[in-house]
């Protein structure tokens, strides 16, 4: 019920199609983040209208609340969310370990955690001080960020949770290290992640499962030999695709290196997912290195603070709360055909944010995701027509016209 | 550009049509409250899909933020909101005076202010203690709940604001009294309101204005002779319709009496709007007394706390946070065709509320307004087919099947 095909290439960038039991994903694709079973503020109809193809939710969050049994008993995650398209569940490795070392080290995906980083691991809000996470060979112990209750995740247990949830694509449990972990610890964690990967795969294949695909996760921090070792090891296992997880270093440059080291060692005929990256500035960089899927909370989280994506502005963004937009009757982006831009002015959107009206969040989120979806559609077409490099130049060296 | 026609009657209940420059309103109709230029959490497309006909916004709130000039400069209120259907602006009399006596007396529309009453006059949040409102013959002085800046509203000034906003139907400035005001004060305030009504009318007619209709407001608290005197006086003026404002007493029964005293004295060929009433239990009571339009924050405010409208339950409501709905795979209401009921279970909606996901608010608001709109459509058809009394019996004496 799954098949992945590369339909076009330009240098290392690939355009393809990943068929799942809930429909095909045209790649490269952004994956909207719906941690708790909802892409914050959007209905499934909004997502369809935006052109969203696939959502990633989180086994860790859904296990804690409302629980995988409740979701299974009411018909599974697709039915629960009302989303009949492709779904991914992240294992929650990143979330669990950001409670531990990530919290102690004060770091996130590739850099120190920004204040707004906090809602990816909502738990960070309610905890301070020492690690609340204990890892051993068998698995990992942690306490619920909701009520302090103790939990244990094992590679097999997480597969079981994800089978109950029933997403199309599932990820194995991994141990995420932070950029501040030393070589020694990062190697030990990577090796443990490899052993967990084998156990997870065995649990996954224990009974016939044609309706789900399982992704292995490459770890190894920002260390070249570890990333290469991990990519080779994980590539050798019977996974349906691969994810690049964990710390991607302390800068964009290190992140690009990690991708270069890793992707050349993964089988070219299987899909690759980059976990937790996806600002507009990153999109061209990761796609040109051969990434097929990537998820990121940035577009939706930025929307909630009034930070809106536009093509010709510093870092592709404006903040609508800026006074200059007070009486600006234009849409957010002149050429954008999203619901928000077709119906509302910058002045109205700014008013909704200033007045703390909840509609502001939805209208901004619709715009940011639509913006990204239309960029991805342009990129897919460009790769198949061998003009990706030209498209990148057009986007990254825009005329000197700022909003 | 305006015409009102009564198309059917059953006893005192009327079914009619009010044509405005932005479309016709089938009456009796619920009027959704969009105080700050948005019906909280809903897009204009949501409102159209729900079948909403008309929105009431608030000149007081929009004057303070973002200001009537900004709205006029960007194309007027319809364009600002993106709503091309009929719009009403309340003058803000109720909001201003709930800062004053309403605040001192701790009372709302017909009863003590509930905690959740606070967001109708958002200002209540930021103020304590003595009156921040000073009324004199010329008008009323108050301070902004946003930043403490001083403001003065006069009958003429409010008409000017409302002309700039450009709603189809506008209300004059009135002085709202509370149920705890004595007869003497209530009479004085009513007489002042009458003098203000004449000044407002004169300001309204000073230049030709075919695109707006103006409503007079009947005051007089819960005193029979005052309500009758006020209804007679206001009915004699050249208004396009009438609103019943101010304190409606301390109980549902007093509210019904106020309507009985008042409505018989208003011209039968003009529309009547009851301000601030509209729980499901009230709908039959006010419609059968001859009300054509009514607005109320209750359905939208209740939605935000997880209180959802259903036909066969105590007070027509359930609270979705109740544990019994935890794994309930049914929609909120079996027969409901709203977006929420077509796509989602009670279990999912409860999960969204528990997880504090903002989508919960919108899905709940869609349901409550759709529920009310479908009740109103049933009521309109019933009146025209002389079976309103039977419909009322069916709704108010349901089988003993509670959710």
Express each pLDDT in A212-269 by its tens digit: 999 999 999 999 999 999 999 999 999 999 999 988 888 999 999 999 999 999 999 9
**Orientation of helix A359-384 relative to helix A346-354, angle to 10°:** 130
**How far is A69 from chain B, CA to nearest CA, in Å?**
10
State phi, psi for A333 to the nearest 5 degrees. -135, 125
**How far is B77 from chain A, CA to nearest CA, in Å?**
10
Question: Around Cβ A262, how many Cβ atoms within 10 Å?
Answer: 26
Pick the more confident residue, A403 or B295: B295
Instruction: Give the per-residue pLDDT at A245.
Output: 93
Range B191-220 average pLDDT: 94
Instruction: Give the per-residue pLDDT at B126.
Output: 34
Do A176 and A78 belong together in one domain? yes
Question: B66, A326: Cβ pair inside 8 Å?
Answer: yes
* Whether the predicted pLDDT of B73 surpasses 50: yes
B343 and chain A in contact, CB less than 8 A: yes
B319 and chain A in contact, CB less than 8 A: no
Pick the more confident residue, A286 or A104: A286
For residue A401, tell me if it sits in a domain: no
For residue A403, tell me if it sits in a domain: no
* Whether the predicted pLDDT of B9 surpasses 70: yes
Chain B interface mutation, best of A35, A358, A364, A365, highest count of B Cβ atoms under 10 Å: A358
Question: A80, B345: Cβ pair inside 8 Å?
Answer: yes
Instruction: Give the per-residue pLDDT at B145.
Output: 87
Do A32 and A64 belong together in one domain? yes
Which residues touch A175 (CB under 8 Å, ≥6 apart)?
A93, A97, A135, A140, A189, A190, A192, A193, A196, A219
DSSP string covering A15-82: EEEEEETTEEEEESEEEEE-TTSS-TT--HHHHHHHT---EEEEHHHHHHTT-HHHHHHTT-HHHHHT
Please list every residue in chain A whose beta carbon sits closer than 8 Å to the beta carbon of residue B38. Answer: 352, 355, 357, 359
Do A312 and A284 belong together in one domain? no
A66 and chain B in contact, CB less than 8 A: yes
Evaluate whether A34 touches A43 at the Cβ level (below 8 Å): no
Give the one of A38, A74, A343 whose C-beta lies nearest to B329's C-beta. Answer: A74
Do B142 and B74 belong together in one domain? yes
Cα separation of B248 and B285, whole Å?
14
For residue B157, tell me if it sits in a domain: yes
Does the model's ipTM exceed the 0.85 cut? yes
Mind telling me the catalytic residues of A? 90, 295
Instruction: Give the per-residue pLDDT at B25.
Output: 98
Which is nearest to A220 in space by CA: A230, A211, A206, A210? A230
Instruction: Give the per-residue pLDDT at A132.
Output: 78
Question: A343, B44: Cβ pair inside 8 Å?
Answer: yes
Please list every residue in chain A whose beta carbon sits closer than 8 Å to the beta carbon of residue B41. Answer: 358-359, 362
For residue B402, tell me if it sits in a domain: no
Mind telling me the catalytic residues of B? 90, 295
CATH of residue B239: 3.20.20.105
Chain A 25-64, CB below 8 Å of chain B: which residues? 36-38, 40-45
Do B29 and B136 belong together in one domain? yes
Which is nearest to A19 in space by CA: A93, A85, A95? A85
Instruction: Give the per-residue pLDDT at B125.
Output: 31
Instruction: Give the per-residue pLDDT at A153.
Output: 97
Q: Render pLDDT for B256-275 as a digit per residue (tens, 0 to 9).
A: 999 999 999 999 999 999 99
Chain B CA closest to residue A66: B351
Collapsed DSSP state (helix, strand, coil) of residue B99: helix
Do A210 and A340 belong together in one domain? no
Question: A359, B41: Cβ pair inside 8 Å?
Answer: yes
Kindly tell me the sign of the dihedral angle through the C-alpha atoms of B359, B361, B365, B368: positive
Question: A43, B343: Cβ pair inside 8 Å?
Answer: yes
Do A329 and A288 belong together in one domain? no
- Model pTM? 0.92
Mean pLDDT, chain B, as a whole number?
A: 91
Do A355 and A261 belong together in one domain? no
A182 and chain B in contact, CB less than 8 A: no
Give the one of A44, A66, A355 whose C-beta lies nearest to B36's C-beta. Answer: A355
Question: A343, B82: Cβ pair inside 8 Å?
Answer: yes
A344 and chain B in contact, CB less than 8 A: yes
**How far is A38 from chain B, CA to nearest CA, in Å?**
8
Do B256 and B324 belong together in one domain? no
Do B30 and B66 belong together in one domain? yes
Evaluate whether B174 touches B245 at the Cβ level (below 8 Å): yes
Q: Render pLDDT for B175-203 as a digit per residue (tens, 0 to 9).
A: 998 888 999 999 999 999 999 999 999 99
Cα separation of B16 and B239, whole Å?
18
Please give the structure tokens belonging to residue A94: 């990143």
Tell me what percent of the residues of chain A surpass a pLDDT of 90.
81
B154 and chain A in contact, CB less than 8 A: no
Range A29-50 average pLDDT: 98
Question: B38, A327: Cβ pair inside 8 Å?
Answer: no
**Beta-bridge mates of residue A31:** A295
B253 and chain A in contact, CB less than 8 A: no
Question: B65, A352: Cβ pair inside 8 Å?
Answer: no
Evaluate whether A46 touches A35 at the Cβ level (below 8 Å): no
Cα separation of A201 and A210, whole Å?
14
**How far is B343 from chain A, CA to nearest CA, in Å?**
6
Chain B CA closest to residue A342: B82
Cα separation of B143 and A8, whole Å?
64
A347 and chain B in contact, CB less than 8 A: yes
A264 and chain B in contact, CB less than 8 A: no
Question: Around Cβ A170, how many Cβ atoms within 10 Å?
Answer: 26
* Whether the predicted pLDDT of B123 surpasses 50: no
Please list every residue in chain B whose beta carbon sits closer than 8 Å to the beta carbon of residue A345. Answer: 74, 79-80
Question: B348, A44: Cβ pair inside 8 Å?
Answer: no
DSSP string covering A101-156: HHHHHTB-SSSBPPGGGGGTTGGGGG--SS--EEE-SS-EEEE-TTT--EEEE-HH
Evaluate whether B162 touches B170 at the Cβ level (below 8 Å): yes
A81 and chain B in contact, CB less than 8 A: yes
- Confidence band of A1 (pLDDT split at 50, 70, 90): confident
The structure tokens 């949770």 sit at A161
State phi, psi for B278 to the nearest 5 degrees. 165, 35
Of A42-46, A310-314, B75-79, least confident by mean pLDDT is: A310-314
* Whether the predicted pLDDT of B365 surpasses 80: yes
Question: A65, B36: Cβ pair inside 8 Å?
Answer: no
Say how many CB pairs under 8 Å bridge A and B: 115
- For A321, the domain range is 307-396
Question: B363, A43: Cβ pair inside 8 Å?
Answer: yes
For residue B224, tell me if it sits in a domain: yes
Cα separation of B273 and B31, whole Å?
9
Evaluate whether A91 touches A125 at the Cβ level (below 8 Å): no
**How far is B95 from chain A, CA to nearest CA, in Å?**
16
Give the one of B329, B343, B351 whose C-beta lies nearest to A37's C-beta. Answer: B351
Helices and strands per DSSP (H, E), number in chain B: 16, 16
For residue B211, tell me if it sits in a domain: yes
Of A17-26, A174-183, B35-44, B326-335, least confident by mean pLDDT is: A174-183
Give the one of A41, A74, A352 whose C-beta lies nearest to B38's C-beta. Answer: A352
For residue A402, tell me if it sits in a domain: no
Question: A45, B75: Cβ pair inside 8 Å?
Answer: no
Mean pLDDT, chain A, as a whole number?
A: 91
Instruction: Give the per-residue pLDDT at A219.
Output: 97
Please list every residue in chain B whose beta carbon sits closer than 8 Å to the beta carbon of residue A350. Answer: 66
Question: A344, B82: Cβ pair inside 8 Å?
Answer: yes
Question: A41, B343: Cβ pair inside 8 Å?
Answer: no
**Beta-bridge mates of residue B214:** B170
Please list every residue in chain B whose beta carbon sits closer than 8 Å to the beta carbon of residue A362. Answer: 41, 43, 358, 362
Q: Are strands B140-143 and B133-135 parallel, antiparallel or unpaired?
A: antiparallel
Do B255 and B313 belong together in one domain? no
- Confidence band of B115 (pLDDT split at 50, 70, 90): very low
Chain B interface mutation, best of A40, A44, A55, A82, highest count of B Cβ atoms under 10 Å: A82
**How far is B62 from chain A, CA to nearest CA, in Å?**
10
Range A145-173 average pLDDT: 96
Question: A362, B362: Cβ pair inside 8 Å?
Answer: yes
Please list every residue in chain A whose beta carbon sits closer than 8 Å to the beta carbon of residue B326. Answer: 66, 70
Residue at which a domain ends, from B296, B323, B345: B296
Question: A359, B43: Cβ pair inside 8 Å?
Answer: yes
Instruction: Give the per-residue pLDDT at B207.
Output: 78
Question: B74, A347: Cβ pair inside 8 Å?
Answer: yes
Which is nearest to B262 in space by CA: B295, B213, B226, B236? B226
B111 and chain A in contact, CB less than 8 A: no
Evaluate whether A365 touches A40 at the Cβ level (below 8 Å): yes
DSSP state of A306: T
Do B267 and B151 belong together in one domain? yes
B8 and chain A in contact, CB less than 8 A: no
Kindly tell me the sign of the dihedral angle through the C-alpha atoms of A73, A75, A76, A77: negative
The length of chain A in residues reads 403
For residue A302, tell me if it sits in a domain: no
Please give the structure tokens belonging to residue B135: 């009324």
Evaluate whether A17 touches A4 at the Cβ level (below 8 Å): yes
**Count of structural domains, chain B:** 2
Residue at which a domain ends, from A238, A269, A296: A296
Cα separation of B174 and A37, whole Å?
48
Residue at which a domain ends, from A296, A329, A353: A296
**How far is B125 from chain A, CA to nearest CA, in Å?**
14
């Amino acid at each position: 019920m799954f098949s992945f095909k590369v339909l076009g290439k330009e240098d290392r960038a690939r355009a393809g199609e990943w068929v799942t039991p809930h429909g095909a994903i045209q790649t490269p694709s952004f994956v909207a983040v719906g941690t708790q079973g909802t892409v914050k503020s959007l209905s499934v109809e909004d997502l369809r209208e935006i052109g969203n193809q696939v959502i990633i939710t989180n086994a860790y969050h859904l296990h804690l609340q409302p629980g995988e049994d409740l979701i299974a008993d009411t018909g599974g995650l697709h039915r629960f969310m009302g989303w009949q398209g492709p779904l991914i569940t992240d294992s929650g490795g990143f979330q669990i370990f950001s409670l531990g070392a990530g919290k102690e080290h004060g770091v996130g995906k590739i850099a120190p955690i920004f204040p707004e980083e906090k809602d990816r691991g909502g738990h960070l809000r309610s905890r301070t001080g020492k690690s609340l996470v204990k890892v051993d060979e068998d698995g990992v112990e942690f306490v619920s960020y909701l009520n302090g209750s103790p939990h244990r995740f094992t590679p097999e247990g997480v597969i079981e949770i994800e089978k109950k949830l029933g997403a199309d694509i599932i990820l194995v449990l991994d141990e995420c290290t932070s950029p501040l972990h030393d070589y020694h610890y990062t190697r030990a964690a990577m090796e443990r992640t490899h052993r967990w990967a084998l156990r997870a795969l065995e649990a996954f294949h224990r009974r016939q499962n044609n309706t789900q695909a399982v992704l292995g996760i490459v770890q190894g921090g920002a260390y070249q030999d570890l990333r290469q070792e991990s990519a080779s090891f994980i590539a050798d296992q019977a996974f349906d695709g691969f994810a690049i997880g964990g710390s991607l270093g302390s800068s964009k440059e290190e992140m690009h290196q990690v991708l270069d080291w890793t992707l050349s060692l993964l089988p070219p005929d299987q899909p690759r997912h980059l976990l937790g990256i996806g600002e507009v500035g990153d999109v061209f960089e990761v796609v040109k290195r051969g990434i097929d899927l990537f998820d990121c909370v940035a577009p939706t989280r930025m929307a909630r603070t009034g930070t809106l994506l536009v093509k010709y502005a510093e870092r592709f963004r404006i903040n609508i709360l800026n006074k200059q937009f007070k009486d600006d009757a234009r849409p957010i982006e002149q050429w954008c055909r999203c619901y928000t831009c077709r119906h509302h002015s910058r002045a109205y959107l700014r008013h909704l944010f200033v007045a703390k009206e909840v509609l502001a969040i939805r209208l901004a989120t619709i715009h940011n995701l639509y913006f990204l979806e239309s960029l991805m559609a342009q990129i897919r077409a460009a790769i198949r027509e061998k003009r990706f490099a030209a498209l990148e130049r057009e986007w990254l060296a825009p005329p000197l016209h700022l909003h």
